Chain A
Amino acid sequence: MLINQSAVKTIIPQREPFIMIDHLLRADDSGFSTSFEIKEDNVFFENGTVSSSAIIENIAQTCAAGFGYLGSQAGEGEAKLGFIGAISKLTVSGTANLNDTVETNVTILNSFENIHLVEGTATVNGEPIVYCQMKIVQA
């Protein structure tokens, strides 16, 4: 684990109650991995599960954490703001329920200037629940 739950706010700009990752597990030039446990007090939690929107946000925050970590390693200071420019090829094939741990892997497909094309897969118990590609724009 690279960054634990107590330190994750140092590498992402999001704040409670909108933090959708717990731990940064991996970050390098090819991509990032995070984990996130679904708890009852999650703002997206309803009827025993969280919406796919929460998982899409989890994928975006995985990007934020990865880029934030790499930036901090490069001495860039505070985590930069990032925006979802586009989402494509979205596939929702499962749900994340109470006490599930969502593991999310993001691969950087390409970058141009401050725009990154990434693909993210969120899994629960090794099974994919959400896949999408995103364009992440770093401010």
Chain B
Amino acid sequence: MNRSDIIATTKRFLSEEFEVSPDAIEPENNLKETLDLDSLDYVDLVVVIEDNLGFKPTADDFKTVATFEDFYQLVERKLQ
């Protein structure tokens, strides 16, 4: 899966799960704020990431993620 595939897949499943516009999912935007995540939502986030990208992120993984660009880099590392 290349960067374009990761972005397209991420926009699709996150916009569906968290009911935000795909246009709001831009690399420079803050993931937590854009998706309006509270602590309980993270388990849902883990579920959709596992279902759509094939890996299960850990709490430590999320410490490296502030923006969607950070998230895309995390996905690339995990899928290597």
Q: Chain A interface (Cβ within 8 Å of chain B)?
A: 85-86, 109-113, 115-117, 135, 137
Stretch at the interface among B5-13, B14-22, B38-46, B68-76: B38-46
Which residues from chain B sit less than 8 Å from chain A, CB to CB?
Answer: 39-40, 42-47, 50, 56, 59
Q: Chain A CB within 10 Å — which of B43, B45, B46, B56 has the most?
A: B43
A86–B38 Cα distance when bound, in Å, is: 12
Residue of A nearest to B47 (CB): A110
How many A-B pairs fall under 8 Å by CB? 27
A115 — nearest CB in chain B belongs to which residue?
A: B43
How far, in angstroms, from A112 to B57 measured CA to CA in the complex?
A: 9
- Tell me the complex Cα distance, A86–B39, Å: 12
Contact B59 A117 (CB under 8 A): no
Question: Contact check: which of B39, B40, B46, B59 meets A110 at CB < 8 Å?
Answer: B46
A112 B50 Cβ-Cβ under 8 A? no
Give chain A nearest CB distance to B45 CB in angstroms. Answer: 8
Bound Cα distance from A18 to B79, whole angstroms: 47
CB distance from A85 to the nearest CB of B (A): 5
Distance (Å) between the CB of A47 and the closest chain B CB? 35
What are 21 contact pairs spanning A and B, CB under 8 A?
A: A85-B40, A86-B40, A109-B47, A110-B43, A110-B46, A110-B47, A110-B50, A110-B56, A112-B42, A112-B45, A112-B46, A113-B42, A115-B39, A115-B40, A115-B42, A115-B43, A116-B43, A117-B43, A117-B44, A117-B47, A135-B43
- For B43, list chain A residues within 8 Å (CB): 110-112, 115-117, 135
- Tell me the bound Cα distance from A113 to B62 in angstroms: 12
